[in-house]
């Protein structure tokens, strides 16, 4: 019985943020996550990693132990250990501590490239921060309800950059840097999204004319699509929030309305 209540207290502290210890724990966890991410960043800078080799490794080890304890406690105190371990955040928690343990247990890690890949998995700790954002709800719902529209837009953009990329490949050719269609498509994406690295630029007159067209399409699309999508979202939001008055049929009441704003009837 006592053990169960301890489990309950740990659960409340870790998962609920209403109580004072819960708030303290979660604040500490956020600070730890941010600091451990900075350690991973520092580790990747050759000069810092060389000079502060011990400090960086000790900090990394310290945070790994900390997050391992957190992982074990979460698995132990949650009503179903299995459902936590196979949840998105459970997997991320595991992936972000595993690399350090594996490099400690197998110090003679075979491939250096794989080791590097492995190490950066620790950056996933950052994703743990996202669980504290609990008001992305409406925004997410709007985006989910518009996912078909967004997919259609993406397909249009894809077709646009493939056609324009191919066109530029034919016009400019290999001698001006457009060495293959995929490279030309990459260039078209760089231009349409108005990023414009400038590592490849059209040299022929016709190529410059087509490039101008791509730029103007990319630029106008921001302006025009922002307007269209704003109208789209306005519909989706109304649908998500809408209640219909049974007496007069008005449907776009505010989401917290109790009485119909037109006829005064109770909703």
The 10 Å Cβ neighbour count of residue 186 is 17
Q: Which is nearer to a copy of itself, 73 or 267 (CB)?
A: 267
Beta bridge mates, 131: none
Distance CA 21, CA 2 (A): 19
By CB under 8 A, name the one of 28, 219, 244, 247 that touches a copy of itself: 219
Q: Which is nearer to a copy of itself, 5 or 231 (CB)?
A: 231
What is the nearest approach in angstroms of a copy of itself to the Cβ of residue 94? Answer: 17
Is residue 234 part of the contact set for a copy of itself (CB under 8 A)? yes
What is the nearest approach in angstroms of a copy of itself to the Cβ of residue 12? Answer: 25
Give yes or no for a contact between 91 and 60, defined as CB atoms under 8 angstroms apart: no
Q: Which of residues 79-118 bind a copy of itself (CB under 8 A)?
A: 116-117
Alpha helix stretches (DSSP H) within 106-204 = 112-119, 137-145, 147-172, 181-192
By CB under 8 A, name the one of 24, 31, 72, 222 that touches a copy of itself: 222
Within the chain, what is the greatest distance between any pair of CA atoms? 83
Is residue 17 part of the contact set for a copy of itself (CB under 8 A)? no
Radius of gyration of the chain from Cα atoms?
27
- The closest alpha carbon to 164, from 110, 206, 116, belongs to 206
What is the nearest approach in angstroms of a copy of itself to the Cβ of residue 137? Answer: 11
What is the nearest approach in angstroms of a copy of itself to the Cβ of residue 161? Answer: 9
- The closest alpha carbon to 94, from 59, 124, 117, 133, belongs to 124
Stretch that binds a copy of itself, among 16-24, 71-79, 98-106, 160-168 (CB under 8 A): 160-168
Is residue 150 part of the contact set for a copy of itself (CB under 8 A)? yes
Is residue 246 part of the contact set for a copy of itself (CB under 8 A)? no
What is the nearest approach in angstroms of a copy of itself to the Cβ of residue 59? Answer: 15
Q: What is the DSSP string of 58-120?
A: HHHHHHHHHHHHHHHHHHHHSS-HHHHHTSHHHHHHHHHHHHHHHHHH-SS-S-HHHHHHHHG
Stretch that binds a copy of itself, among 20-28, 58-66, 69-77, 212-220 (CB under 8 A): 212-220
Is residue 45 part of the contact set for a copy of itself (CB under 8 A)? yes
By CB under 8 A, name the one of 16, 23, 182, 246 that touches a copy of itself: 182
Q: Which is nearer to a copy of itself, 21 or 264 (CB)?
A: 264
Is residue 252 part of the contact set for a copy of itself (CB under 8 A)? yes
Helix (H) or strand (E) holding 42: helix 20-44
Give yes or no for a contact between 195 and 161, defined as CB atoms under 8 angstroms apart: no
Is residue 27 part of the contact set for a copy of itself (CB under 8 A)? no
Q: Which is nearer to a copy of itself, 21 or 182 (CB)?
A: 182
């Amino acid at each position: 019985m006592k053990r169960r209540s301890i489990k309950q207290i740990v659960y409340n502290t870790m998962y609920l943020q209403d109580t004072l210890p819960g708030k303290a724990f979660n604040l500490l966890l956020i600070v730890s996550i941010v600091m451990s991410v900075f350690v991973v960043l520092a580790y990747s800078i050759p000069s810092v990693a060389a000079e502060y080799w011990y400090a960086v490794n000790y900090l990394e080890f310290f945070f790994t132990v900390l997050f391992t304890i957190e992982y074990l406690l979460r698995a132990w105190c949650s009503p179903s250990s299995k459902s936590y371990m196979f949840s998105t955040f459970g997997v991320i928690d595991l992936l972000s501590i595993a690399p350090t343990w594996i490099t400690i247990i197998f110090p003679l890690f075979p491939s250096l490239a794989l080791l590097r890949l492995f190490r950066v998995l620790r950056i996933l700790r950052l994703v743990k921060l996202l669980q504290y954002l609990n008001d992305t709800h409406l925004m997410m719902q709007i985006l989910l309800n518009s996912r078909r529209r967004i997919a259609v837009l993406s397909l249009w953009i894809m077709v646009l950059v493939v056609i324009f990329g191919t066109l530029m490949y034919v016009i400019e050719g290999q001698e001006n840097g457009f060495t293959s269609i995929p490279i030309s498509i990459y260039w078209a994406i760089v231009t349409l999204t108005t990023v414009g690295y400038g590592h490849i630029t059209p040299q022929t007159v016709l190529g410059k004319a087509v490039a101008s067209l791509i730029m103007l399409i990319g630029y106008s699309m921001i302006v025009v699509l922002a307007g269209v999508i704003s109208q789209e979202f306005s519909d989706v939001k109304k649908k998500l929030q809408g209640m219909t008055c049974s007496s007069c049929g008005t449907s776009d009441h505010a989401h917290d309305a109790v009485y119909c704003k037109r006829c005064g009837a109770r909703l």
